Amino acid sequence: MKFGTVAILGCPNVGKSTLVNTLVHHKISIVSDTPQTTRARILGVAHCPQGQLAVLDTPGLRAHPHRLKKRMARAAWSAVDDADLLAVMVDGSRRPGTGDRFVAERVFSAPRRRDGVPVFLLVNKIDAVNRLKLLPVLDAYQALAPWTEIVPLSARTGRNVDRMTALMFDRMTEGDAAFDDDFVTDQSWRRLAAETIREKVIDATTAELPHAVAVQVEEFLEEGRLTRVAASIFVERPGQKAIVIGRAGARLRAIGAAARRELSRELERKVFLRLHVKVKEAWCEDDRLLAELGY
């Protein structure tokens, strides 16, 4: 039985969270089309025939000024120190950009690298590119850094994901299982509920809004076969509150319905969900609130 920890790093929107969900067979990390969806580091455990892989999903990396983004970058880089293997993910439909180069450079200059930790390049979204377009992209990445392995894959369809885990296990040492058979994530149900609601807000609103949204679960009560959840959706300005609520409350109801459906499925219980939208100017500069929100 083998065991090891893998940190997945990369630019926003390349598919890191999608891969973690595919590996653990559960939706533990929210996914969206909007960059910078993941805000904190999330542990998922993949239970495989060869053993266990602890996989760390991290916020997409980018040079950014304000406080939340700095915290996000810290959370991402902290994963490097705890990993036995580093996996840099890129989008296979594009040639390397400034962000991809920045991540590669930082990963290869990390102190952990000097301990001989392997660095895999995961070229994702190959379901969406044809072979002729993929080959020059792979060549460009090959020239970029001395990767231990380059694995083209699709996190969404699962293509080549088994091959990736097999290559990762080749680099892991024999050891005892670190987690119980049914342990999939370090995220509490409360956090999963907050994140699910945030995902539905992102899905339902315009491209600019998601960065202004945070969700805090205030009540999470199990009553018989029912789970009662009350949560606040924080936005930064009154105009954003109006967008989230929508005409006659229609958008907020749709957000609530979508979140409730998904939570019921994951919890395998009936869920009663109450949502409030609150304006909290510059919540993302408020250290205490950020800590409370788990960022």
Interface ranges with ligand GTP (CB under 6 A): 12-18, 31-33, 35-38, 59-60, 124-125, 127-128, 154-156
Interface map 7-36 toward Mg ion (x if CB under 5 A)? ---------xx-------------------
Q: What is the number of the residue whose Cβ is closest to ligand GTP?
A: 60
Torsion of CA 262, 266, 184, 58, to 10 degrees: 10
Q: Which is nearer to Mg ion, 16 or 41 (CB)?
A: 16
Measured from the Cβ of residue 206, the count of other Cβ atoms closer than 10 Å reads 10
In whole angstroms, how close is the CB of 155 to ligand GTP at the nearest point? Answer: 4
8 Å CB contact between 216 and 231: yes
> What angle, rounded to 10 degrees, do the helices at 131-144 and 98-108 form?
40
Q: Which is nearer to ligand GTP, 59 or 118 (CB)?
A: 59
Size of the site for Mg ion (CB under 5 A): 4
**CA–CA dist 58, 36 (Å, integer):** 10
Residue 38 engages Mg ion in binding (rule: CB under 5 A): yes
Q: Which is nearer to Mg ion, 16 or 198 (CB)?
A: 16
Residue whose C-alpha is closest to residue 23's, from 1, 52, 3: 52
In whole angstroms, how close is the CB of 35 to Mg ion at the nearest point? Answer: 9
Using CB distances below 5 to 8 A depending on partner kind, what does residue 128 bind out of Mg ion, ligand GTP, none?
A: ligand GTP
Strands (E) across 100-139 are located at 119-124
Measured between alpha carbons, how far is residue 154 from residues 90, 106, 190, 258 in Å?
A: 11, 25, 30, 26
Give the interface with Mg ion as residue ranges (CB under 5 A). Answer: 16-17, 37-38
